[in-house]
Amino acid sequence: MLIVMQHAAAADEVQRVVDTIESLGYEARPMPGAQRTAVGLVGNDGRVDASRLAALPGVKEIIHVTQPYKQVSREWRDEPTVVRLADGLAVGGNDVVVMAGPCSVESESQLLTTARLVRDAGASVLRGGAFKPRSSPYSFQGLGIEGLKLLAKAREETGLLIVTEAIDTECIDAVADYADIIQIGARSMQNYSLLKRAGKINKPVLLKRGLAATINELLLSAEYILASGNEQIILCERGIRGFDNATRNVFDLAAIPVVHSLSHLPIIADPSHATGRRDKVIPMARAAVAAGADGIIVEVHPTPDTALSDGAQSLYPEQFEDLMRQARLIAEASDRAIAAPLPSQVTT
Amino acid sequence: MLIVMQHAAAADEVQRVVDTIESLGYEARPMPGAQRTAVGLVGNDGRVDASRLAALPGVKEIIHVTQPYKQVSREWRDEPTVVRLADGLAVGGNDVVVMAGPCSVESESQLLTTARLVRDAGASVLRGGAFKPRSSPYSFQGLGIEGLKLLAKAREETGLLIVTEAIDTECIDAVADYADIIQIGARSMQNYSLLKRAGKINKPVLLKRGLAATINELLLSAEYILASGNEQIILCERGIRGFDNATRNVFDLAAIPVVHSLSHLPIIADPSHATGRRDKVIPMARAAVAAGADGIIVEVHPTPDTALSDGAQSLYPEQFEDLMRQARLIAEASDRAIAAPLPSQVTT
Amino acid sequence: MLIVMQHAAAADEVQRVVDTIESLGYEARPMPGAQRTAVGLVGNDGRVDASRLAALPGVKEIIHVTQPYKQVSREWRDEPTVVRLADGLAVGGNDVVVMAGPCSVESESQLLTTARLVRDAGASVLRGGAFKPRSSPYSFQGLGIEGLKLLAKAREETGLLIVTEAIDTECIDAVADYADIIQIGARSMQNYSLLKRAGKINKPVLLKRGLAATINELLLSAEYILASGNEQIILCERGIRGFDNATRNVFDLAAIPVVHSLSHLPIIADPSHATGRRDKVIPMARAAVAAGADGIIVEVHPTPDTALSDGAQSLYPEQFEDLMRQARLIAEASDRAIAAPLPSQVTT
Amino acid sequence: MLIVMQHAAAADEVQRVVDTIESLGYEARPMPGAQRTAVGLVGNDGRVDASRLAALPGVKEIIHVTQPYKQVSREWRDEPTVVRLADGLAVGGNDVVVMAGPCSVESESQLLTTARLVRDAGASVLRGGAFKPRSSPYSFQGLGIEGLKLLAKAREETGLLIVTEAIDTECIDAVADYADIIQIGARSMQNYSLLKRAGKINKPVLLKRGLAATINELLLSAEYILASGNEQIILCERGIRGFDNATRNVFDLAAIPVVHSLSHLPIIADPSHATGRRDKVIPMARAAVAAGADGIIVEVHPTPDTALSDGAQSLYPEQFEDLMRQARLIAEASDRAIAAPLPSQVTT
């Protein structure tokens, strides 16, 4: 941490900064400059409260040299985290994992039809919302436990693993009972009570980036899960808020290489929520794979025109097949491969 | 709702839109134009799922004419909601209510000292966090129930009402037991489980705008509370995310007249979290009153240099007194007045 | 400037940074830390090209301690710049200067009617576009030289000084011939050829903040004008781009105290372009004065319903009078006053 | 255009809107609804000034159904524009054109070394700034005409075509004399005088998206060029301003499919300026090709550590070769190919 003094800061103001740093138990290193003095705080373990120093007289600004997170950092652990899902299927290794399915679980036939078609096209994880966070209280809020049971049934029939969202501490245990990956949605990225609970469960967690979250904040939220004991974290870029409504959000694909350089955690991308329109989903899904994503999560619906939510961004089955074909070639360009689905659990 | 067709949309594509609207139980009104046809959906009660229509072939875009919220709208109820706190103290009437206090409750002496000084300067509500949502798991997370008890004690001594944050469904009942106003923080604005719980409690709720929330989304979150049965809602502008780190957030003061024109709910402003630096808090607090805010909520600390959180944005006692003096004059310029504090509950 | 090394940076990588700094003619001061080494560059005169250092192996990031601008800085010159317009009228002193008028100069009668009414209400400067930058090539582009002549005529009749925009290096000399203040619009804030030309002219310049410009960038653009020889610069906050279309732009009023702390230059605010709707202009104009603006610039039109541009944001005459009355009271709350208009140049 | 009335708008207010539309020469079509009336304006040729209608009493908002641009629209012309550069090299057809080179032209040896190496790796156009728009007046501003001559010399030696920026109306003729493609930079996207001049020149124009420009505004700026007579326009996504400083800008790759659906003009992408750091440039360049860009423009420097500008984002020669290899495979995944460079003009 670097405490930058004002141009006109007096010597005793600098001394007070030095004293405060030392009273906090760290070492202070003043650095006089041509225009101003800066004081380095040495030994920062990430627990220094900057506002204590920012408030001292003569202080111009505080510059953070050390990141506020620890265990998620690549400097804490250099080798990539590989989140093992089952039987060789893993996120964060060489394979790119494709998760696909409807926005919401609507009915058994809708879910099973979708599950079969995404599996046949090569997806290995089935997505589908049972508990839905909706911005309007009057929108369809999901099938709840009933939806979780349908997801489990689809897993049994198709061999696809299940990812589905836990929207609060009330439903997370039920979600953990049925799902293979517990999703924490963008709106919940800073729901710290939920993060702590997810950290106590021994299941992989898919943590989506909040609409206005910096990558640092995403990593700090992951730190909450890790600090509570769960290391199986998959991050997800799903679009951030921007000024142009030409697409629903701005798909910040550079977050993928940024996360890969700052953290050992894997990161996947969600082009469906990022763009909101199906004709943009396909090129952006390709781009995510090209950018080095460890996976993609895509909405597919057998008949998008009748979907109960987000129909406009769901791919038609043929479009998804086409995408899978292109994604394989693009993954190969970076010497990666699309993960193959696991076999079905039912003997046929 | 207006369904805009592509330039080259065929007649049967327009017809399919018309049929879909009618199958949903609404009236369709096609409007052929020079460049394209648009189809009006008449009778929208706010429950139409636009994605059903957006996904139809030939559809270019969906334009929302009706707002997605209902009960919070000024068109639903024209006269302003006045949230009555106690004995004539109310938010949303002619008075501007000043809420002040430390970021966090730290100790009895810190809280009582602050409470007395903000009361003497003219504040009528005491703010102070007992449960703190912190972006890092390693930061001070608040005193919890102990903090609530100290707030209650400060109320007893000073007559100040209490506003404090409920960060999850676990703590909200305890918060409701002690506080006069339950704060839902910016990070929780779309924590729908928490909003629904707040809607079941018969206490005023202070709902802060999320960092990346549009005003429409803020109103939709308020709609959750209202739809669950609680009409005593105070909105709060506290800064939105921007591209310039010259201030912590962008203080979107225009949200005040915008909310006043769209909704009957009162709105206050928080210049402390919006700007993050005390020398910016004072002019922005003045500006909030000038912009027509129904109240302001400001951080004050007896010794900001030693605060456990957000010291850099807390006002010194003298600064707060000065601000109160200016705020009174500015409120008068718009024929309003600063609300007077209630008398202390202890006989002295 | 602080060059932060990666956690794992080798000693010879640190040495190479030191050598490079020294080869550039500055002093290097290595600062080993608990997690990483940082190297201070001492003596930075604002001309160091950071990318030279950022590209060296082992470098994690470059942190700027010194601001990139010089002459506009309050550290370069502590006392506020007062831009003297004429006969005691000045921007940046104790008076708050009100500039008002139509968006575009449309006709002699429109301009003179407006000039008289804003003068009678107490404005001292007349605004009005003769050269209009329009986002569509098919929109009204202004009356050009003819408009400038009408502005000069209005000055003669009313005593109001004139501010009008120069959109390119072709028209700036003509604008300088007729106007008292040369406006550089938001879209031209980084038109460096235009800034340099404005720096060669001995007339006050009103430099508007670009839609996506940080305050640092605004100050750097002012530095271009100052570095070319013109010190008479008035900055202007006029709204920045945001994610919510509830208002046209986000009116970043905190820019006012931020500029006042970083620079000696005065800053005014434009609530008309910031909000785009007249019912928002009035509270935001009040808020600008309360925030400490050295002036406001407001669109007023005698009959806004028939304006050729921006009718929706122009105030009705009565609204402007009302605003002036409130602005006077608010200015007084901070011990300032609204500047009085100069007398007319024609003897009546 | 749809004029949405307030809920409580009176019949005569609706009638006044109808009358105003008709007085402007268009047809009005009132559409009464459950909550409010909307009035359609039929026959909009893109020249209606919305603010005339927005200002009428009882009007809630104006909704634009027709885009404000015309000739750049895919509805104006359905088949893609192919900008022919020379001898079969074209942007907007099946080939993906790679433009590469240094940020600035610094010296003959630097430029020729770079030109040869990017050509050998497969680039077909050489980029390099001779006139540099710099945010600080104290930064290196480019070699000017001397730089243009060096670029011409590099073309002669290598067969690479030249793209370089014209920063103002003073230098554009010289740029047009030497370059094959005239670049209009992001800061000049709304410099309408410059756009009009570019529209009078019979050379391809590369128009970069402004930092805070919506895609609509980018297309409107292209409309200026087209309306002035020049149809050879290549658009360029180069990153927009965002709230996270983890990368310099936010690379909005979804702009590529969005532009392709709205306009017939080709669009390329600039991952170097978008991200600002070389380790992010490579994955983002791959992503741009995967997203369907008609070309990429990348900074390469033989010795980035000593570059006079933007060294941190310039690729090392080996990195560029590697990128080209991957880009070829990714282009093939979408049945496209990287354009081959033209032969050198000198006989060797």
Assess whether D320 and D174 both reside in one domain: yes
Interface contacts (A, D; CB < 8 Å): 128
* pLDDT(B267) > 90: yes
pLDDT of residue D303: 85
Residue A268 has which token pair?
């996947």
- What does the pLDDT look like over A299-320, one tens digit per residue? 999 887 777 666 778 899 999 9
Alpha helices in chain B (DSSP H): 11-23, 50-54, 108-121, 145-158, 172-178, 192-199, 215-227, 255-262, 271-275, 278-290, 317-333
Contact C126, C101 (CB under 8 A): yes
Cβ <8 Å between D326 and A334 = yes
Residue of B nearest to A53 (CA): B305
CA distance D75 to chain B (A): 6
| Residue with more model confidence, C309 or D97 | D97
Assess whether D175 and D321 both reside in one domain: yes
Chain B contact present for A305, CB below 8 A: yes
Average pLDDT score, chain C? 92
Contact A324, A337 (CB under 8 A): no
**C222 occurs within a structural domain:** yes
**A35 occurs within a structural domain:** yes
The mean pLDDT of A178-206, rounded to a whole number, is: 97
Q: How far apart are CA A267 and CA A278, in angstroms?
A: 22
Residue in D300, D267, D302 with CA at minimum distance from that of residue D113: D302
Q: How far apart are CA C339 and CA C98, in angstroms?
A: 7
Interface contacts (A, C; CB < 8 Å): 69
pLDDT of residue D3: 87
Confidence of residue A124 (pLDDT cuts 50, 70, 90): very high
- What does the pLDDT look like over D292-328, one tens digit per residue? 999 999 999 988 777 766 667 889 999 999 999 999 9
Number of C-beta neighbours around residue A8 at 10 A: 12
**D150 occurs within a structural domain:** yes
**B224 occurs within a structural domain:** yes
Q: Which domain holds residue D138?
A: 83-338
**C78 occurs within a structural domain:** no
Secondary structure element (H or E) that encloses residue B169, with its range: none
Cβ <8 Å between A51 and B307 = yes
Instruction: Of A51-65, A178-192, A254-268, C98-112, give the lowest mean pLDDT range.
Output: A51-65
Residue in B166, B165, B169 with CA at minimum distance from that of residue B196: B169
Number of C-beta neighbours around residue D303 at 10 A: 14
Cβ <8 Å between D212 and C241 = yes
Residue of D nearest to A288 (CA): D287
Residue in B131, B79, B95, B84 with CA at minimum distance from that of residue B296: B95
- What does the pLDDT look like over A276-299, one tens digit per residue? 888 999 999 999 999 999 999 999
Residue in A342, A318, A309, A341 with CA at minimum distance from that of residue A147: A309
Assess whether D58 and D89 both reside in one domain: no
Q: Tell me, what's the ipTM?
A: 0.91
**D72 occurs within a structural domain:** no
Assess whether D50 and D191 both reside in one domain: no
Secondary structure element (H or E) that encloses residue B231, with its range: none
* pLDDT(B91) > 80: yes
Angle at D133 between CA D132 and CA D135, to 5 degrees: 130
User: What is the per-residue DSSP string for D9-53?
Assistant: --HHHHHHHHHHHHHTT-EEEEEE-SS-EEEEEES--S---HHHH
Q: How far apart are CA B139 and CA A46, in angstroms?
A: 9
Residue of D nearest to C247 (CA): D61
pLDDT of residue A347: 54
Assess whether B37 and B154 both reside in one domain: no
CA distance C103 to chain B (A): 21
Cβ <8 Å between D7 and B75 = yes
Chain D contact present for C144, CB below 8 A: no
CB-side neighbour CA atoms (13 Å) of C293: 31
Assess whether B224 and B325 both reside in one domain: yes
What are all long-range contacts of D10-18, with beta carbons under 8 Å and residues at least 24 apart?
A: D10/D58, D13/D56, D13/D57, D13/D58, D13/D59, D14/D39, D14/D58, D16/D56, D16/D57, D16/D58, D17/D53, D17/D56, D17/D58, D17/D59
Confidence of residue A39 (pLDDT cuts 50, 70, 90): confident
Chain C contact present for D44, CB below 8 A: no
**A91 occurs within a structural domain:** yes
CATH number of the domain residue A9 falls in: 3.30.70.1140
- What does the pLDDT look like over C102-139, one tens digit per residue? 999 999 999 999 999 999 999 999 999 999 988 888 88
- What separation, in Å, do the N-terminal and C-terminal C-alpha atoms of chain B show? 62
From the number of C-beta atoms within 10 Å of its C-beta (0-12, 13-18, 19+), residue A261 rates as middle
Assess whether C59 and C155 both reside in one domain: no
Chain D residue numbers with beta carbons less than 8 Å from the beta carbon of C55 are: 278, 304-305, 307, 311-312, 314
pLDDT of residue B347: 55
pLDDT of residue D347: 54
Instruction: Of B279-283, C241-245, D51-55, D144-148, give the lowest mean pLDDT range.
Output: D51-55
Assess whether B57 and B97 both reside in one domain: no
Tally of domains in chain C: 2
Nearest CB neighbour to D212, from listed A243, A279, A290: A243
| Residue with more model confidence, B213 or D5 | B213
Nearest CB neighbour to C55, from listed D68, D190, D312: D312
Cβ <8 Å between D252 and A251 = yes
Residue ending a domain, among A11, A33, A63, is A63
The mean pLDDT of B267-294, rounded to a whole number, is: 96
Q: Which positions ≥6 away from B11 have C-beta within 8 Å?
A: none
CA distance B172 to chain A (A): 13
Q: How far apart are CA D69 and CA D57, in angstroms?
A: 28
Confidence of residue B139 (pLDDT cuts 50, 70, 90): confident
**A320 occurs within a structural domain:** yes
Assess whether C247 and C319 both reside in one domain: yes
Assess whether D178 and D320 both reside in one domain: yes
CA distance B244 to chain D (A): 7
Confidence of residue B208 (pLDDT cuts 50, 70, 90): very high
Task: Among C45, C243, C248, C249, pick the best mutation site for testing chain A contact (most A Cβ within 10 A).
Answer: C243
Residue in C54, C2, C76, C113 with CA at minimum distance from that of residue C265: C76
CA distance C327 to chain B (A): 8
CA distance A329 to chain D (A): 6
Assess whether B187 and B318 both reside in one domain: yes
Pairing assessment for the beta strands B233-237 and C337-338 based on DSSP bridges: unpaired
Chain D contact present for A133, CB below 8 A: no
In percent, how much of chain A has pLDDT > 90? 69
Contact D321, D283 (CB under 8 A): no
Assess whether B174 and B260 both reside in one domain: yes
Cβ <8 Å between C291 and B275 = no
Q: Which residues in chain A (212-271) have CB-CB distances under 8 A to chain D? A: 212, 214-216, 240, 242-247, 250-258, 261
Cβ <8 Å between B136 and A68 = yes
- What does the pLDDT look like over D151-184, one tens digit per residue? 999 999 999 999 999 999 999 999 999 999 999 9
Q: Which positions ≥6 away from A43 have C-beta within 8 Å?
A: A26, A27, C33, C34
3-state secondary structure of C155: helix
The mean pLDDT of A182-203, rounded to a whole number, is: 97
CATH number of the domain residue C100 falls in: 3.20.20.70
pLDDT of residue C223: 95
Residue ending a domain, among A35, A63, A91, is A63
Q: How far apart are CA A107 and CA A301, in angstroms?
A: 12
CA distance D48 to chain B (A): 13
Residue B21 has which token pair?
């609207």
